[in-house]
Every structure is written in structure tokens, then in C-alpha cells.
């Protein structure tokens, strides 16, 4: 396989890296989290102007038709900067779900504004007792209205519409579009470990529009999202490794840099291998097609999640108390890593799914 990026992909990566360098710094990142939405609206508009919000959408939907490799490149670059904006959950998840499962009228009403950064949407699927089971849905849709509770709606505090999973009168799980200002909605906002906002939403006789697709489209999309999730974690790993390497070169103890100690060198060598192994698994997952592709994506996410959390913990140990301060990227990256490692399934759950996919 040829793992080299083509010219357009390299330009895309360079553009995102410039955005990260110009707009993000460990010292200012907490300020981006202060707004009720959990991110800076100005940065979101800039991402739209760069075309990144339209990147995953098909050309007929006004998008740029970015494929798995392009989305991987963007996610990894955003991960290296520990970017606060909910690109993964809002654009790659909710935006693509709307594009694939929405009716023509729903897509016409929302997609262009989503790509322009003017409208925010979120997926409301998880329920208090569902954990990672996609088919554990108690929310009901009857006579055009939804009743139930959804939780862990990332960026749900600032959304204009929700894509909600609910059981219809025939018992099948469908997708429904709900306006954020609709009657019968109660919302409780809270902060996640990385500072992002999330919401728990209660629906009580809330008007909802059926969408064209069903939960099978949601399941297929979540499978594909393992690649950008793993890519963002790889970006975090690279940032953590480089930051730690720089630090052990200048941190002195007993009159010598701690990077000169053999025990520290062994630990860093192990983490370097983890980064490179993660990169290989990610590239394989991004390029996989047909039989075995699902297993490749699940396996990549499971391995990178474990390796990423372990690397982040090593980085904190080697930095000492400074590793958890807001002034350094290490603590921010660790918190983001913990969130991504369990998104749609923690490593143990993903390993069980991998075993099932390999049968």
C-alpha cells in the first residue's frame, strides 16, 4: 500500500495545521471553553470559511466529498492542537447523519446552514441506561410526538436541532428531527471531562419529524467514525510525545537532563513504538475496504485508545505536577484522550466487537 498523502491531502493537512498554530495555545484553550456552548464561535465560523464544515458532505449536498483519508488528515491535525470545537460530534457525526438519513426537505432546510457554521445540530441517541448498546432505546415516537430522555448529547447546549432515535409504534428504531425550541423539551447542561459541554434532554410530547433513514444508517456511520476518532487520538499522542521529549531534554536532576537517564529513554522508546504502531493501524483502517474493513476500524480504535491513555499517563508522570496544569498541553490532551477512548465504546467493549467481527 502507498501510505503517502497526495498533493491535495498534504495541502489540506497544512491548512488545518496553520489554523491550529494561529488559533490555539495551551494557555488560551481554557478561554475557548468558557462560553456556554463550550467553544469559540469565531473559530467555528473560520472552520466554515476554510471549507472544513462542508468537507464530509457529498457534492450534491453542497459539500466537498471528502473521503476517509481526508477526514483522517483533518482529525489528526485537530488532535495535535487539542482543538476545542466539536468538529467530530457535530460535523462528522450529526452533519453526516442528516445528509444520509434526512428527507430532501430536511436537508434543504439545514445542510447548507450547517456547512456555513450558521446552524448547529446534535445527535440525541444515548439514554441513561443504554451505555454503548445501540438498540437499547426506550424513547417512543407516537402520533408525531416523542417521549423519553436522552443523555450525553455533546454540544447539546448550543444546538438548533436534534436528531433523535426513538421506537415507532411498530417497535422499530427510527430517526426523528426535533427543533431545539419545540414544546415539551427540558434540558440540563453539564461539562465533560475535557471541558466540552453536553446536555441531557427530556422530551414530553415533543413534536418531531420522521427522517428517511433508520438506526442502520446510524450504526454504519458510527463504524466509519472510528477512523477519525482514532486519528484525533493519534494527533493527541503525537503532541504528547513531542512535548514530553522536549521537556525531558531540558528538565535537569542531579546535574543532568532526565532524558539522559536510561530508564527514561526506555520509557520514551516504548511510547515512540506505540505512536508508530497506532499510525500503522490507523492507516490500515482508513484504507480498508470490503471484507475485514469493519474489524480493521474497530481494532484500530481499541488499540489506539489503550495506547493513547497509557502514553498520556506517562507524559503526566514525566512532567510531574506541571503535567496537569492549564499552562501545558499535557493535561488538556489527557482529558480529551479519556473522552475519545470511550466514545461509542470503551476499549473493552471495542475488543469484544472486534472478536465478533473476526468470526
Rounded to 10°, the helix 293-319/215-250 angle is 30
Q: What is the rounded average pLDDT of the residues 225-234?
A: 98
pLDDT digits (tens, 9 = 90+) for 33-81: 878 888 888 999 999 999 999 999 999 998 999 999 999 999 999 999 9
Please count the other Cβ atoms lying within 10 Å of the Cβ belonging to residue 58: 14
CA angle, 120 then 121 then 126, to 5°: 140
Per-residue confidence (pLDDT) for residue 176, from 0 to 100: 98
- Look at the alpha carbons of 179, 345, 152, 19 in this order and tell me if their dihedral is positive or negative: negative
Averaged confidence pLDDT in the chain = 94
- Is 9:69 a contact under the CB 8 Å cutoff? yes
Per-residue confidence (pLDDT) for residue 158, from 0 to 100: 85
The end-to-end CA distance of the chain, in Å, is 25
Q: What is the rounded average pLDDT of the residues 26-30?
A: 75
pLDDT digits (tens, 9 = 90+) for 96-117: 999 999 999 999 999 999 999 9
DSSP secondary structure string for all residues of 156-192? GGG-SEEEEEEE-TTS-EEEEEEETT-TTEEEEEEE-
- In 3D, which of 201, 174, 169, 199 has the Cα closest to residue 186? 201
The answer on pLDDT for 32 being more than 90 is: no
Q: What is the rounded average pLDDT of the residues 259-282?
A: 97
Q: What is the rounded average pLDDT of the residues 127-151?
A: 96
Helix (H, G, I), strand (E, B) or coil at 18: helix
Residue 1: pLDDT band with limits 50, 70, 90: low
User: Which residue matches cell numbers 448550543?
Assistant: 158
The answer on pLDDT for 25 being more than 80 is: no
pLDDT digits (tens, 9 = 90+) for 151-180: 999 988 889 999 999 999 999 999 999 999
- Percent of the chain at pLDDT > 90 equals 86
The answer on pLDDT for 248 being more than 80 is: yes
Residue 338: partners with Cβ closer than 8 Å, 6 or more residues away: 193, 194, 309, 312
Q: What is the rounded average pLDDT of the residues 332-342?
A: 96
Per-residue confidence (pLDDT) for residue 161, from 0 to 100: 97
Per-residue confidence (pLDDT) for residue 17, from 0 to 100: 95
- Is 214:269 a contact under the CB 8 Å cutoff? no
- Is 328:322 a contact under the CB 8 Å cutoff? yes
Helix (H, G, I), strand (E, B) or coil at 145: strand
Residue 94: partners with Cβ closer than 8 Å, 6 or more residues away: 121, 122, 123, 163
Per-residue confidence (pLDDT) for residue 2, from 0 to 100: 64
Helix (H, G, I), strand (E, B) or coil at 34: coil
Report which DSSP code applies to 242: H
- In 3D, which of 350, 339, 269, 329 has the Cα closest to residue 308? 339
Residue 177 pairs in a beta bridge with 163, 209
Give the Cα separation of 8 and 67 in Å (integer): 12
145-154 and 140-142 beta bridge pairing: antiparallel
Report which DSSP code applies to 90: I
- Is 232:75 a contact under the CB 8 Å cutoff? yes
Report which DSSP code applies to 299: H
Per-residue confidence (pLDDT) for residue 125, from 0 to 100: 97
Per-residue confidence (pLDDT) for residue 23, from 0 to 100: 86
- In 3D, which of 100, 351, 132 has the Cα closest to residue 220? 100
Most confident of the ranges 77-86, 156-165, 227-236: 227-236
Residue 64: partners with Cβ closer than 8 Å, 6 or more residues away: 51, 54, 55, 57
Please count the other Cβ atoms lying within 10 Å of the Cβ belonging to residue 104: 8
Residue 258: partners with Cβ closer than 8 Å, 6 or more residues away: 248, 251, 252, 264, 318
Per-residue confidence (pLDDT) for residue 24, from 0 to 100: 82
Give the Cα separation of 298 and 281 in Å (integer): 10
Rg, the chain, Cα only: 21
Amino acid at each position: 500500500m502507498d501510505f503517502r498523502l497526495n498533493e491535495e491531502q498534504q495541502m489540506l493537512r497544512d491548512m488545518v495545521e496553520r489554523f491550529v498554530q494561529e488559533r490555539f495555545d495551551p494557555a488560551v484553550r481554557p478561554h475557548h471553553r468558557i462560553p456556554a456552548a463550550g467553544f469559540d464561535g469565531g473559530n467555528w465560523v473560520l472552520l466554515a470559511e476554510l471549507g472544513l464544515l462542508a468537507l464530509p458532505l457529498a457534492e450534491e449536498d453542497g459539500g466537498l466529498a471528502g473521503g476517509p483519508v481526508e477526514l483522517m488528515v483533518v482529525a489528526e491535525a485537530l488532535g495535535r492542537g487539542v482543538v476545542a470545537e466539536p468538529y467530530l460530534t457535530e460535523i462528522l457525526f450529526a452533519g453526516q447523519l442528516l445528509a444520509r438519513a434526512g428527507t430532501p426537505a430536511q436537508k434543504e432546510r439545514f445542510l447548507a446552514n450547517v456547512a456555513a457554521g450558521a446552524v448547529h445540530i446534535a445527535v440525541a441517541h444515548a439514554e441513561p441506561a443504554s451505555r454503548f448498546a445501540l438498540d437499547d432505546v426506550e424513547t417512543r415516537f407516537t402520533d408525531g410526538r416523542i417521549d423519553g430522555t436522552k443523555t450525553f448529547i455533546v454540544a447539546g447546549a448550543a444546538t438548533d436541532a436534534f436528531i433523535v432515535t426513538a421506537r415507532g409504534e411498530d417497535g422499530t428504531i427510527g430517526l426523528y428531527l426535533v427543533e431545539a425550541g419545540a414544546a415539551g423539551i427540558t434540558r440540563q447542561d453539564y461539562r465533560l471531562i475535557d471541558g466540552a459541554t453536553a446536555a441531557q434532554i427530556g422530551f414530553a410530547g415533543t413534536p418531531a419529524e420522521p427522517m428517511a433513514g433508520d438506526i442502520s444508517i446510524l450504526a454504519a456511520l458510527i463504524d466509519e467514525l472510528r477512523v477519525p476518532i482514532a486519528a484525533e487520538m493519534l494527533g493527541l499522542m503525537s503532541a504528547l510525545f513531542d512535548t514530553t521529549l522536549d521537556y525531558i531534554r531540558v528538565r535537569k536532576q542531579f546535574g543532568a537532563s532526565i532524558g539522559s537517564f536510561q530508564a527514561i529513554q526506555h520509557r520514551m522508546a516504548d511510547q515512540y513504538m506505540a505512536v508508530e504502531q497506532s499510525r500503522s493501524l490507523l492507516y490500515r483502517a482508513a484504507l480498508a475496504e470490503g471484507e475485514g474493513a469493519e474489524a480493521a476500524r474497530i481494532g484500530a480504535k481499541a488499540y489506539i485508545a489503550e495506547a493513547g491513555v497509557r502514553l498520556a499517563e506517562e507524559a503526566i508522570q514525566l512532567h510531574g505536577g506541571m503535567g496537569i496544569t492549564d499552562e501545558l498541553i499535557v493535561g488538556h490532551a489527557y482529558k480529551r484522550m479519556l473522552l475519545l477512548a470511550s466514545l461509542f465504546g470503551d476499549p473493552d467493549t471495542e475488543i469484544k466487537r472486534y472478536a465478533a467481527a473476526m468470526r
